[in-house]
Chains A and B, each alone.
Chain A
Amino acid sequence: MGKFLVRRLVNYVVLIMLATTFAYLLAATTLSPRVNYEERSPRPTEEQVDQRLDELNLNDKTPLAERWVVWASGVAKGDFGKTVTGTPVNDEIERRVWVSLRLIIVGTVLGSVIGVAVGAYAAVKQYRLFDKASTAGAFFVLAVPAVVIALSLQVFATMFNQAVGAQVFVYNGEGTLGLEAGFWGTLWDRLKHMILPTLALALAQFAAFSRYQRNMMLDVLGSDFVRTARAKGLNRRDALLKHALRTALIPTVTYFTFTFGVMMAGTTFTEKIYNWNGMGSWVVDSIVTNDVHAVAAVSCFMAVCIMAASFLSDILYAWLDPRVRVS
């Protein structure tokens, strides 16, 4: 099995490299850092700008291939270059990556686990109140774009805070700046800041997963092996939970890979709307500021995340389904 994992990993690395390069080339040809200087006053001379851009390896007068070689050899050594303001991209990544990962991991785990549980239970209670309510809820959430979910939660939080007259919900930033409250105080502060954005992300995940899991459950509900399980004396609920759910989890794992990309986009919006300084909000800012290297770095991060999710789901798949396990 090890050999196949390695081959798959190599394939992933190649894909990530290509995706990053593609993003770099795209950004380098369409974004123009030179514009940033033209708007300054006093307007710097062209030589000054050229010199500055050369330092940053962002000068559009240098052939693209040449710039790419410099950038790529840096990346190969683990250096993603400098931002338009001259700070190292790596430092910025270091600062932001955990902010995003925290949101992604907690949001995904929470959303998919609750989604699967609700979907499975809805299938067991088909046509009952719980099923109808969860279906209606999922339908509604699926119809609301991530942006609108995030915005609406913010609006509700504001109204709630105003009504109560206290800052129960916070929806700005990932933590209070300059807070000095010790370990537990900081943790509590962070948690409070996390609630709304995580909820915004998890809601969309939850809706998609509960729908999917319910349908998968109902698909295996009529299958022969569930009938066998009932024929041996398991009651409906046990047969569904022990035999149907366990089997219906397998396609959900594949579904996870497909939804992860959408989830990543959702993270971008959520971070931006809640003013989290993560990778997602960085990409929006860096496009506006023509920050080519930052864009490439975030692309790389997203590709790595998607590949990691895909790899994880392969492993999960093999773990759940004895048919694909290779001895």
Chain B
Amino acid sequence: MTGTEIQTSAAVEQRNGSAPVLEVSDLHVTFPGEGKGPDIRAVRGVGYSLRRGEILGIVGESGSGKSVSSLAAMGLLPDHARVTGSIRLHGEELLGLDDRRMSAKRGETISMIFQDPLSGLTPVYAVGDQIAEAVRVHNPAVSKAEAADRAVELLELVGIPNPAQRYRAFPHEFSGGMRQRVMIAIAIANGPDVIICDEPTTALDVTIQAQILEVLKTAQRETGAAIVMITHDLGVVAGLVDRMLVMYAGRPVEIGAVDDVYYRTRMPYTMGLLGSVPRLDDEEKAPLIPIRGNPPSLSALPSGCPFAPRCPLAIDACSEAEPELQPVGAEGHAAACVRTGEIEEHGWSAADVYPLPEASGAGSGQPPREYRETVLDVDGLVKHHPLMKGAVFKRRVGTVYAVDGISFEIAEGETLGLVGESGCGKSSTLMEILSLRTPQSGKVTVLGRESGRAGHRERFEIRRDVQVVFQDPMSSLDPRMQVFDVVAEPLRTHRHPRAGLRARVNELLTLVGLDPAHAARYPQEFSGGQRQRIGIARALALKPKLLVLDEPVSALDVSIQAGVINLLDDLKAELGLSYLFVAHDLSVVRHIADRVAVMYLGRIVEIGAADSLFSAPAHPYTQALLSAIPVPDPEKERTRSPIVLEGDLPSPASPPSGCRFRPRCPKFRTLSTAEQQACVDTEPGLNAVSQDDHGAACHYAEKRTVV
């Protein structure tokens, strides 16, 4: 890339007296445009060097080029990609090696762990065989039996229980976390010198993420490999990496030791990124700092600094030429911004640079919740469904206790966060409420009307009051309908007078911060954040009292996410809405929710006011969940010790007797045999742990601070 980068890496090298294992310099990756379309310049001048045993974090939002640059190092980019620059492994140039010689390196000296463990393993082969294959492909002399033994060893190393028996299992019999362990086993099978981890925990739940990060640390200890950790999660890198590289629009914009980047940030983009993350350790509810606009299209980059259009500090000089990485402050710290000098001089941070959105008056001036109307009352809701097996020969093999008797209520103007890991039943709860059918057991009451008893007509009426916003902005809008029709659909369905239709749609679009002039466009012409706003506009069309939000921001990049969260905050204050907010990201929930319910295996294990629950969780599961969430603060993260839960979530088809959390409970293990008996025999109910409505379903509930 630049002279600076080479200088800094050379300096580091001198200091440590060791040659870098992997050296990437001035890497460019371009995908030719389709037909006459413009080329997509995915990576533009990435450079870094990696010493033995070092962990480098590469952070960026989607489309920043972080994954493409690593695939280039593995030689796994599609043939039509144009790659230039240099990638040296132990001093040997990798670019330009043919498939055969590159194959000899892959999995032997340099290996990679991918994001999605669910599709990463060949579905038709046993997991053990897939590990053994990795051993044998580089050591043909090893016999099949020896390779199998080695595979069992590796399975044990990555923490698969009963490795010898599990060797024969097929990928579909493993959970996501277990499959990711297998992927790690494959990656370390031949003791590589470099392991590239491409968002290895993004698809996993937090408690599983904590486990996998532990396994990665073990793997590094065993192999002594250098690790490149690619992620969008500023929490994950904080406690794990030594140095980090921030990428934006295909270019590195800031590089340095992790503390320098977090505490002495010199690039406005990095600042915005850090400022827009909702934090679990934030006590007060200040609005998040969104970065306005969207990342540029990689096929039509603006001249000059690609971040300039979104940058609050942009000056004329920014659009003249693209700034190179300039050394700032501490050794090895560099940032690509023309104003780094000023930033350093004034010691600016995100709060100084970004215009702070005005805090809305949410919550203030409302009567206490006992005096407010109950918008949604769920009482003893049960949803069991048959467990079928086989795609060709279907048969019922059991019952999934997806939702097993849960109760909560939501007051007017209140947000209840329903949290839990995948498979805990939170989505089933939501669908059951939305379906307005008669539940298998229990009842759902919306604004005093019990949905199960409502006739066809009344149910249609209830639908006006309960609307939903979904997770995936790609699939929540019909791609064949113009935005106007999308937003007008609920109005038309509920016979809104035709005359006022256009005015109402325009009003709604303005309300969610979109330009009504764009109503004739199709959803795919909008960015993810904008699409989510369209979804919110559609949900608001009928002036509902309750909005059910199913992971509304989890598919968005952090800088975009902040804007949508702020919008939801504002709408609630303005329109007096109640939210049922389902999410797995507890940081977001802490930011937005008034009350929180934690679900585990179809049951609510803890419920209470957000502040009370987050500052002093009483249930061991909540404690583990909270402690597993990494905080984007390196110092804090280094001193925290997460409670790592063992094993996976048990199948909801066969929940354990007594307390469902018992087999994984860290507390259970510290109890005496006599005390344990209660956990084994009786399922605990929700018991109050303090005055303010805070309850936990644990025989030995005890408040504890974990964040």
Interface of A toward B, CB cutoff 8 Å: 1, 4-5, 8, 223-236, 238, 243, 246-247, 250, 314, 317-318, 320-326
A230–B393 contact, CB under 8 A? no
With a cutoff of 8 Å between Cβ atoms, the chain A residues found around residue B391 in the complex are 321, 323-324
Chain A residue with the shortest CB-CB distance to B110: A231
With a cutoff of 8 Å between Cβ atoms, the chain A residues found around residue B108 in the complex are 233
B393–A322 contact, CB under 8 A? no
Give 30 CB contacts A-B under 8 Å.
A5-B393, A8-B393, A223-B119, A226-B122, A227-B76, A228-B121, A228-B122, A229-B133, A230-B76, A231-B74, A231-B111, A231-B114, A232-B106, A232-B107, A232-B186, A232-B189, A233-B104, A233-B137, A234-B133, A235-B103, A238-B137, A243-B125, A246-B122, A317-B392, A320-B124, A321-B391, A323-B170, A323-B172, A324-B390, A324-B392
Q: In the complex, how many angstroms separate the beta carbon of B624 from the nearest chain A beta carbon?
A: 30
A233–B103 contact, CB under 8 A? yes
Report if A318-B100 is in contact (Cβ < 8 Å); known contacts: A231-B112, A232-B133.
Answer: no
Alpha-carbon distance between A322 and B181 when the two chains are bound, in angstroms: 21
Chain A residue with the shortest CB-CB distance to B169: A322
Q: In the complex, how many angstroms separate the beta carbon of A53 from the nearest chain B beta carbon?
A: 47
Alpha-carbon distance between A325 and B124 when the two chains are bound, in angstroms: 11
Out of A231, A243, A322, A324, which one reaches B76, CB within 8 Å?
A231
With a cutoff of 8 Å between Cβ atoms, the chain A residues found around residue B393 in the complex are 1, 4-5, 8, 314, 318, 324, 326
Q: In the complex, how many angstroms separate the beta carbon of A9 from the nearest chain B beta carbon?
A: 12
With a cutoff of 8 Å between Cβ atoms, the chain B residues found around residue A250 in the complex are 124
Report if A235-B100 is in contact (Cβ < 8 Å); known contacts: A225-B122, A227-B114, A326-B390.
Answer: yes
Q: In the complex, how many angstroms separate the beta carbon of B185 from the nearest chain A beta carbon?
A: 11
B409 on interface, CB distance cutoff 8 Å: no
A314–B392 contact, CB under 8 A? yes
Out of B107, B122, B170, B183, which one reaches A233, CB within 8 Å?
B107
B121–A231 contact, CB under 8 A? no
A231–B123 contact, CB under 8 A? no
With a cutoff of 8 Å between Cβ atoms, the chain A residues found around residue B390 in the complex are 4, 324-326
Chain A residue with the shortest CB-CB distance to B134: A232
With a cutoff of 8 Å between Cβ atoms, the chain A residues found around residue B124 in the complex are 246-247, 250, 320-322
Alpha-carbon distance between A243 and B391 when the two chains are bound, in angstroms: 21
With a cutoff of 8 Å between Cβ atoms, the chain A residues found around residue B121 in the complex are 225, 228
A224–B106 contact, CB under 8 A? no
B138 on interface, CB distance cutoff 8 Å: yes
B667 on interface, CB distance cutoff 8 Å: no
Alpha-carbon distance between A120 and B137 when the two chains are bound, in angstroms: 22
With a cutoff of 8 Å between Cβ atoms, the chain B residues found around residue A226 in the complex are 122
Alpha-carbon distance between A246 and B124 when the two chains are bound, in angstroms: 8
With a cutoff of 8 Å between Cβ atoms, the chain B residues found around residue A246 in the complex are 122, 124-125
Chain A residue with the shortest CB-CB distance to B135: A232
Chain A residue with the shortest CB-CB distance to B397: A326
Q: In the complex, how many angstroms separate the beta carbon of A169 from the nearest chain B beta carbon?
A: 43
Report if A236-B99 is in contact (Cβ < 8 Å); known contacts: A322-B170, A326-B393.
Answer: yes
Alpha-carbon distance between A60 and B105 when the two chains are bound, in angstroms: 81
* Count, chain B residues at interface, CB 8 A: 39
With a cutoff of 8 Å between Cβ atoms, the chain B residues found around residue A314 in the complex are 392-393
Alpha-carbon distance between A314 and B187 when the two chains are bound, in angstroms: 36
What 10 new A-B contacts, CB under 8 Å, besides A224-B116, A232-B134? A4-B393, A4-B394, A224-B120, A228-B122, A231-B74, A231-B76, A232-B107, A233-B107, A234-B133, A236-B99
Kindly name the residue among B116, B172, B392 whose own CB sees the greatest number of chain A CB atoms within 10 A: B392
A321–B123 contact, CB under 8 A? yes
Going nearest first, the 10 A-B pairs with the smallest beta carbon separation are A233-B107, A4-B393, A232-B107, A232-B134, A224-B119, A235-B103, A324-B391, A322-B170, A225-B122, A224-B120
With a cutoff of 8 Å between Cβ atoms, the chain A residues found around residue B104 in the complex are 233
Alpha-carbon distance between A230 and B133 when the two chains are bound, in angstroms: 11
With a cutoff of 8 Å between Cβ atoms, the chain B residues found around residue A223 in the complex are 119
B494 on interface, CB distance cutoff 8 Å: no
Chain B residue with the shortest CB-CB distance to A325: B390
B492 on interface, CB distance cutoff 8 Å: no
B114–A4 contact, CB under 8 A? no
Alpha-carbon distance between A223 and B392 when the two chains are bound, in angstroms: 23
Chain B residue with the shortest CB-CB distance to A313: B392
With a cutoff of 8 Å between Cβ atoms, the chain A residues found around residue B116 in the complex are 224
Report if A228-B186 is in contact (Cβ < 8 Å); known contacts: A246-B122, A314-B392.
Answer: yes
With a cutoff of 8 Å between Cβ atoms, the chain A residues found around residue B137 in the complex are 232-234, 238
A228–B114 contact, CB under 8 A? yes
Q: In the complex, how many angstroms separate the beta carbon of A321 from the nearest chain B beta carbon?
A: 7
B638 on interface, CB distance cutoff 8 Å: no
B389 on interface, CB distance cutoff 8 Å: yes
Chain B positions 626 through 653: 1 when the CB is less than 8 Å from some CB of chain A, otherwise 0: 0000000000000000000000000000
B395 on interface, CB distance cutoff 8 Å: yes
Alpha-carbon distance between A314 and B390 when the two chains are bound, in angstroms: 12
Q: In the complex, how many angstroms separate the beta carbon of A4 from the nearest chain B beta carbon?
A: 4
With a cutoff of 8 Å between Cβ atoms, the chain A residues found around residue B107 in the complex are 231-233
With a cutoff of 8 Å between Cβ atoms, the chain A residues found around residue B134 in the complex are 232-233
Alpha-carbon distance between A232 and B185 when the two chains are bound, in angstroms: 11
Chain A residue with the shortest CB-CB distance to B182: A228
With a cutoff of 8 Å between Cβ atoms, the chain B residues found around residue A322 in the complex are 123-124, 170, 172
Chain B positions 85 through 116: 1 when the CB is less than 8 Å from some CB of chain A, otherwise 0: 00000000000000110011111100110101
Kindly name the residue among A225, A232, A321 whose own CB sees the greatest number of chain B CB atoms within 10 A: A232
With a cutoff of 8 Å between Cβ atoms, the chain A residues found around residue B111 in the complex are 231-232
Chain A residue with the shortest CB-CB distance to B71: A227
With a cutoff of 8 Å between Cβ atoms, the chain A residues found around residue B394 in the complex are 4
Chain A residue with the shortest CB-CB distance to B75: A230
Alpha-carbon distance between A44 and B190 when the two chains are bound, in angstroms: 91
Alpha-carbon distance between A48 and B81 when the two chains are bound, in angstroms: 84
With a cutoff of 8 Å between Cβ atoms, the chain B residues found around residue A321 in the complex are 123-124, 391
Q: In the complex, how many angstroms separate the beta carbon of B253 from the nearest chain A beta carbon?
A: 28
With a cutoff of 8 Å between Cβ atoms, the chain B residues found around residue A8 in the complex are 393
B103–A234 contact, CB under 8 A? yes
Alpha-carbon distance between A226 and B78 when the two chains are bound, in angstroms: 13
Alpha-carbon distance between A228 and B200 when the two chains are bound, in angstroms: 13
Chain B residue with the shortest CB-CB distance to A318: B392
Interface positions, chain B 155-208, Cβ under 8 Å from A, are 170, 172, 183, 186-187, 189-190
With a cutoff of 8 Å between Cβ atoms, the chain B residues found around residue A230 in the complex are 76, 103, 106
Q: In the complex, how many angstroms separate the beta carbon of B74 from the nearest chain A beta carbon?
A: 6
